[in-house]
Amino acid sequence: MDEDDDITLEQIKKLREDRKNGIKSTLNSDKKEFDSYHAPKNILDTIPIDPTDEDPLKSYRVKTVAEQETEYQARWRKRSFSPPRTYDPFTGKGEVKGRSYKDIMIENQLAREEQDLMAKISKKQKEEEEKKRAQQKAAAIEEESNKKKKIDASSSAAAPSSSASSSINGNGNGNGREKRWFLKVYKNGANLQTNVDITLGDKVTFGRDASNKVVLEHPSCSSKHATISILKEGKRPILIDLKSTNQTRLNDKEIEPHHPEELYHGDKIQFGGSSREYIVSHS
């Protein structure tokens, strides 16, 4: 048996304590003292481990991966990929913490259904607007047809001969009764009693620039915003947006730049963010 085997557990503890405090041990001073020692496992297991006890060879050996990583890397490595849950989906026991996979799938399905529903609502609204505009145009055409029939009927009744009748209807010299187109101007629902005439060959221009026939004072309007003109006798007025910054709206719908739009009786025109409304009328 070695000479060190006769060291008791109390002597081992005292030796470690003296080394920790920097005290030279007097235990077995006649023997050579080593930096490390061996003892039976049953003795080593009974010795409490001191967390402040440093490894004397730590500065000489290669650092492990855990010792080389920074605090940030350690937090990233130990991060949790999902919130802690005490609920067991197999037994149905425990308190539910966080969302389950089923909850997430239901939420995604509801979001998709909501998106589809909003798209259908938007499509339906557009269809209703197109239908309303078509009805307005049909009503305007019917109104014009009824007026024309009344004029023809009154002209036929008042004319003493066919030649007079043809003259009144414009078949004699081609100068029949022409419609007078104009715009009524409203602001906040009140009629400003300012009409803008639209005549054949006369282009009505709108914009902030003083050279326009109708000067728009609102700052959102462009200097050259839009034009309205009658290109051919007997035809309807044509509205054209001149690629304005804040668009031109016809019946609350933005029109495309440089795309001619036919105007009907009762159509509403707005320029930029101006509150003024221009209502198309004829007599």
Q: What pLDDT score was predicted for residue 136?
A: 87
Does pLDDT of 29 surpass 70?
A: no
Does pLDDT of 5 surpass 70?
A: no
Percent of all residues in the chain with a pLDDT value above 70, rounded to a whole number? 69
CA–CA distance, 27 with 30 (Å, rounded to integer):
8
Q: Is the pTM of this model over 0.75?
A: no
CA–CA distance, 198 with 228 (Å, rounded to integer):
7
Residue with the bigger pLDDT between 31 and 243: it is 243
CA–CA distance, 180 with 250 (Å, rounded to integer):
20
pLDDT tens-place string over residues 112-141:
999 999 999 999 999 999 888 888 888 888
Does pLDDT of 1 surpass 80?
A: no
Which of 26-40, 212-226, 231-245, 254-268 has the weakest average pLDDT?
Answer: 26-40
Are the C-beta atoms of residues 203 and 196 closer than 8 Å to each other? no
Residue with the bigger pLDDT between 213 and 166: it is 213
Q: What's the full length of the chain, in residues?
A: 283
Residue with the bigger pLDDT between 126 and 159: it is 126
Strands (DSSP E) along 212-260, which ranges?
Answer: 214-215, 226-229, 238-241, 248-250, 253-254
Residue type for 144, please?
E
Residue with the bigger pLDDT between 15 and 173: it is 15
Q: What pLDDT score was predicted for residue 193?
A: 80
CA–CA distance, 265 with 144 (Å, rounded to integer):
9
Q: Identify the CA nearest to 231 among candidates 220, 222, 239, 223.
A: 239
Domains in the chain, please, with CATH? 3-76 (no CATH), 181-282 (2.60.200.20)
Residue type for 7, please?
I
